[in-house]
Amino acid sequence: MRNSLKTILFLSSFSPTLLALAIVRYFISGEDMLFYQLVSVFVLGLILFALIFKLIIKQGETVNFKAKKVESTDYFLVVFLAAYTSPVIMRMVELNFEIISLILVLLMVALWVMPYIPSHPLMYLLKYKFYKVESDNGVVYTLISKRNIRDPKTIKEVKLISNSMLMEK
């Protein structure tokens, strides 16, 4: 998978935050144009996530993999939980769609150049976990898996998502 798809996949991880912002906006001003814009971008993020995730599972390149070390990175979810609660905490702040759009563009640029990505909260709902794995030749990857991995030797086959991301088959 190319960097562009990886970037879009993890940019979609911020879509639940937009839903939280839409709910806050609804309580502040009711149904207005900004409310509908936020809900629309949230739905677009969900659709992009579903399409790209399906593409990875069905058409991702499968390779044999030998891991030397494995470490859980589930603690990154705390950052996203803070992002979801911040709209509620800042309920009285007036929302501006242009500023939110600018922030999303900046996030997209940051995600494009980052070799490692933050955990995706929608994937947690699907019971996926994130790991930092080191291959037997010393390269470090982010691995996405449905199972709890304690022993790196149990990782046999993975799907390539990008040059720094893998998904366990």
What are the pLDDT digits (tens) for 75-130? 565 566 556 666 655 554 555 667 667 777 776 776 666 555 556 777 777 888 88
CA 5, 148, 59, 62 torsion: positive or negative? positive
Is a pLDDT exceeding 60 seen at residue 68? Answer: yes
Considering its fold, how many domains does the chain have in total? 1
Q: Using DSSP, state whether 130 is helix, strand or coil.
A: strand
pTM: 0.67
Candidates 115, 102, 93, 119; CA nearest to 20 is: 93
What integer pLDDT is reported at residue 165 of this predicted model? 83
Separation in Å, CA 85 to CA 4, 16, 20, 23, 24:
28, 11, 8, 12, 11
Domain that holds residue 51: 3-168
Q: Using DSSP, state whether 44 is helix, strand or coil.
A: helix
Long-range Cβ contact pairs of 113-118 (< 8 A, separation 24 or more): 115/163, 115/164, 116/142, 116/164, 117/6, 117/10, 117/142, 117/165, 118/10, 118/13, 118/76, 118/79, 118/80
Check residue 10 and report its DSSP letter: H
Measure the CA–CA gap between 113 and 140, rounded to whole angstroms.
16
Cβ atoms of 131 and 155 closer than 8 Å: no
Which residue do the tokens 């990857």 mark?
141
Is a pLDDT exceeding 50 seen at residue 41? Answer: yes
